[in-house]
Structure 1
Amino acid sequence: MTAIQEAIEYIESREAGDKFSYRQVAKIFGVDRTTLSRRHKGLQVSHEAKIANQQRLNPQQEDEVVSYIERATRDGLPPTRGILKNFGSAVAQQEVSDSWVDRFRHRHPDELTTKWDTGIDRERHLADSKHKYELYFNLLYSKMEEHGINERNLYNIDKKGFFVGVADRRKRIFSKAV
């Protein structure tokens, strides 16, 4: 319990009608008189309580947004700031701001990171198909097993996404868990 909470508890434990001085109570507990008076009268809340009241999403909803980012990252399409803003607005059922995305990322530094990506050209996209990838990776893993190559010894894997016709760079939000 903080000193300010102890001082408020002390004031509230007094008999009704007992006279007291905020200045004397503040001096006893070593807190600011103005803050004590405002908190006791309910005019001011602690900084932590203010932040919690201003957050658009509760902790459970924020965990759901982090899970969404993990799924999207695992599926190879991590969200942009705009996508995350839209998803946050849908979860909160009210519009969230651009700065909400930044604050959200800063509240989850151990789970989220941002990186720049670039799109793939049209020719690479046309050569792309799920069937070809399955054949390639099946062949790759069979050769790895055949030659006793460990997965940790694979290098230089292409990490381009599937952003067709997009040549500019975009900042995306990735899950660190994936």
Structure 2
Amino acid sequence: MNVDKAVAYHKQHPSVHVKDVLKRFTVPKSTFFDHLSGTHSARGVNTTRNLSLQQEAALVGTINEFARRGTFLAPRHMRELANRFTDEPVGKNWPSTFIRRHNDDISSKFFRFQEIARLEADTPSNRAAFHGLVKSVYDDHFHPSHNLYNMDETGFTLSNEFNERGVTPKHTTSKSKGTLPKDTHITVVAAISTSDSPVPPYLIYPGQHFIEEWTTPRDSEPKMMGAGQSWRR
């Protein structure tokens, strides 16, 4: 964010005139002094902020960190993260205001997605706990390596791909994948042992959508049959 760079430059070079600093970083005078004093003004009038400058900077860093790992946050996820910093919930339109305020670092656009974003589980503490458990299993030598498996799951819908708005670093291209919404229909679980022995994947499908003939025993020889405009084995 240019205003943050301008403030940092001014603190490192106090002898440089403020006018020259503003010209160098192309930032408004009022915005510069608001950030320098730790306050924020909207159109020249002091307003109450939901988050402090430090908290907003931390949120921008979190957005960029998720994007670095291939997970793009939707505006609703931004609200959830912001509410962890404040006692009063942020408003419905707060994410768009936040994005405009930090448009030097982040942007909002639509992305085509296929992968699920595990926002609730993907935290530093959970990752550290997972690696600690894996290490303890290895260290006790109770289980042979071919009985240790890495399990992974992903979800996908039965409909065509569609777009969802994601918040990402400023120059992220729209070809990147975003997050899958909550209406996942099928879950695929894959497993492979530490000795590279794979296990056939599991398909988890909502029981209320099962068709009886899917579980009806068939001839061992595969057959193809037509069903309207579709084909099935």
Which protein has the larger Cα radius of gyration, Structure 1 or Structure 2?
A: 1
Counting helix residues as a fraction of each chain, which structure ranks higher? Answer: 1
Which of 1 and 2 has higher RCO (CA within 8 Å, sep 6+)? 1
With the shorter chain as reference, the TM-score category is 0.3 to 0.5
TM-score by length of 2: 0.35
